[in-house]
Amino acid sequence: MAKLTHRRRSAAPAGMAATVALVLLSACGGGSGGDGKAAAEDKGVASIETPKASGATASESTAAESGRPQLRLDTSEAEQTRLTGIYFDCLRDHGAPGGYKPGSKQWYPGGGSDRNSAAARKACLPKLPLQPPELDPARNPHYMDDFRAYIRCLNDGGLKVKGLSDGSGWNYDGQTSLTQAQQSKLDHDCQLKAYK
C-alpha cells in the first residue's frame, strides 16, 4: 500500500494544480500533495493553497494580500467554506477552467488555457483567504517546535503518523481505528493545542 503524504496548508505560493488538488484531513489540517492521485486516495476535506501570482512583483503581491480575508486556527468550517466559495466564484467568473461544487472547498480543474487560469488567479487573489499565520513557517518563529507538538498530539490521540523532517506534513505510520470525523476533530484540536 502506498504511503499517503499529508501536506500542511501553506501561505507560500503554489500553482493552480496544487490549489485545486489539495485534500486535507480537516479544514484546519494539512493536506495531501497536489498530484490529484493522492487527492483521490485521501478521503479528507479539500482545501486551498495560495496560488502563484503569475508575473506579479513583490509589491503587487503585498498589495493584493493586504485586503485578503485572514483565516484563524479557530475559524469555523462554515466560514472557511463561505470564504472559499467567494474566491471560487471569482475564478469561475474570470474564466478559470474547471469548477467546484457549492459547499465544497475543492476546485476541480478543467481543460483550458493556462493564460485564462493565470489571469483569473491574478484577478481573484484579493479574495483568496490567507491561511492562519501560525501555520506559516515564515511568520511563526516557533513553527518547527509547534509542528512537533502537533505530531505528538496526533499520535497521543490514536492517529499514528510520522512528521516530515521539513515540517510540511506527515505520513501515516500505522493503522488507526479512528473514523474520518474523529480524525478531523483530532486534527483540529491538536492544531489549536500545538500552534501558538
Per-residue pLDDT of the chain (196 residues), as tens digits, is 445 556 554 333 333 323 332 222 233 334 333 333 333 333 333 333 333 333 444 444 454 467 899 999 999 888 999 999 999 999 999 999 888 887 777 788 777 667 888 899 999 999 999 999 999 999 999 999 999 999 999 999 999 999 999 999 999 998 889 998 899 899 999 999 999 8
Percent of the chain as helix, strand, coil, to the nearest 5: 40, 10, 45
pTM confidence score:
0.60
Alpha-carbon gap, residue 13 to 15, rounded angstroms: 7
* Per-residue pLDDT at 182: 94
CA distances from 184 to 51, 76, 91, 136, 145 (A): 25, 13, 28, 20, 22
Contacts of 62 (CB under 8 A, 6+ apart): none
* Per-residue pLDDT at 2: 46
The beta-strand segments (E) located in 44-152 are 45-46, 98-99, 108-109
* Per-residue pLDDT at 76: 87
The beta-strand segments (E) located in the chain are 5-7, 23-24, 45-46, 98-99, 108-109, 161-163, 169-172
Cell of residue 102, nine digits: 457549492
Cell of residue 20, nine digits: 485545486
Maximum C-alpha span of the chain: 48
Question: What does DSSP say about strands 5-7 and 169-172: parallel, antiparallel, or unpaired?
Answer: antiparallel
The beta-strand segments (E) located in 79-167 are 98-99, 108-109, 161-163
Alpha-carbon gap, residue 20 to 39, rounded angstroms: 10
* Per-residue pLDDT at 103: 75
Task: Please choose, from the candidates 193, 168, 187, the residue with its C-alpha nearest in 3D space to the C-alpha of residue 8.
Answer: 168
Alpha-carbon gap, residue 54 to 56, rounded angstroms: 5
* Per-residue pLDDT at 7: 58
* Per-residue pLDDT at 5: 58
